[in-house]
Amino acid sequence: MSGNYKKLEQLYEGKAKKVFKTDRDNVYIVEYKDDATAGNGAKKGIIAGKGVINNRITNYLMRLLETDGIPTHFIEELSDTETAVRRLAIVPLEVIVRNIAAGSLAVRLGLAEGTKLRSTVLEYCYKDDALGDPLVNEYHIIAMGWASAAELKTISNYAFTINRLLSKHLESAGIELIDFKLEFGRTDDGEIILADEISPDTCRFWDVKTREKLDKDLFRRDLGGVEAAYREVMERLLGRGYRGDRAAAQ
Ligand code: TMP
């Protein structure tokens, strides 16, 4: 049963996705865009084909995580760029997991990018563009009421489990998971489940052998080869001849 949701008014447009209401109360449609931004909107551009690729990679990884017991918002891929997801109240946190020092951590602590961390690092940023998504800790989160202590325990447990599952799976595709960002939401029943996307926009992926970048840092740092890298990640994970979920089902 495919495409059995009527797309209604747009609720929200973000930097990389739009969200629409549907005729089902508890179902939204997410539409992935080719637009790319970096530095909290300071740099803007288009990554051709990104919407399709991020939709497919996210859905593939969400399904993989579901199989391994992580509840996610994924319902069904509806088109190349559209997916039906569960309606959630988003917890206003970016949950960042780091295995190797890179990006803002490397800058903040003066580490060479690529330095192996002795153990996995978990960080939280408060989702607020006007404030530049500031780094916060558990005390801030509980004091501000963004999540309860019990919810944070669930979120951190999921984040570490997801890191283990994704790292292992990606490694078998020749990809090292350097770091990534997750978002979680609450269902009407108060259950915490994984939301948003898992893609080269929201993860750092390096080739295991060459340590070549296969993610949005190519765009952020004007290194070139962005489209090819996104496609490479998709093809390594979903196969070279992959034409989409619906094409495969027909
Ligand atoms: P950072 O090193 O810039 O803090 O990023 C850590 C990881 O989180 C990296 O994989 C990119 C991802 N990320 C997002 O998906 N969205 C964001 O707004 C930021 C700042 C990072």
Query: Does residue 163 carry a pLDDT above 50?
Result: yes
Query: Does residue 241 carry a pLDDT above 90?
Result: no
**Is residue 151 lining ligand 1, measured as CB closer than 6 Å?**
no
- Report the pLDDT averaged over residues 215-225: 97
Q: Ligand 1 centre from 181 Cα, in Å?
A: 6
Token duo for residue 148: 């309860």
Q: 110: pLDDT confidence band, cut at 50, 70 and 90?
A: very high
Question: Any idea which residue has 């909107």 for tokens?
Answer: 41
**Is residue 213 lining ligand 1, measured as CB closer than 6 Å?**
no
Q: Ligand 1 centre from 97 Cα, in Å?
A: 9
Question: Could you tell me where in the chain the CATH 3.30.200.20 domains are found?
Answer: 7-87+236-249
| Residue type (1 letter), 82 | E
Question: Any idea which residue has 């206003």 for tokens?
Answer: 92
Reported as type and span, the H/E element at residue 24 is none
Question: Could you tell me where in the chain the CATH 3.30.470.20 domains are found?
Answer: 90-228
Q: How many CA atoms lie within 13 A of 12 on its CB side?
A: 11
Q: Ligand 1 centre from 5 Cα, in Å?
A: 32
Q: Ligand 1 centre from 127 Cα, in Å?
A: 12
Question: In this predicted model, what pLDDT tens digit does every residue of 76-89 receive, in sequence order?
Answer: 999 999 999 999 99
Question: In this predicted model, what pLDDT tens digit does every residue of 46-57 receive, in sequence order?
Answer: 999 999 999 999
Alpha helices, DSSP H, located in the chain: 50-67, 103-109, 138-144, 149-171, 217-220, 226-238, 245-249
Query: Does residue 3 carry a pLDDT above 90?
Result: no
Output helix, strand, coil percentages for the chain, rounded to the nearest 5: 30, 35, 35
Question: In this predicted model, what pLDDT tens digit does every residue of 12-64 receive, in sequence order?
Answer: 999 999 999 999 999 999 999 999 999 988 999 999 999 999 999 999 999 99
* pTM exceeds 0.75 for this model: yes
Query: Does residue 243 carry a pLDDT above 90?
Result: no
The residue nearest atom 7 of ligand 1, judged by CA position, is 180
Dmax over Cα atoms in the chain, in whole Å? Answer: 52
Q: Which of 3-7, 116-120, 143-147 has the lowest mean pLDDT?
A: 3-7
Class of domain 7-87+236-249: alpha beta
**Is residue 202 lining ligand 1, measured as CB closer than 6 Å?**
yes
Q: Does domain 90-228 have CATH number 3.30.470.20?
A: yes
Query: Does residue 192 carry a pLDDT above 70?
Result: yes
Contact criterion met (CB below 8 Å) for 204 and 176: no
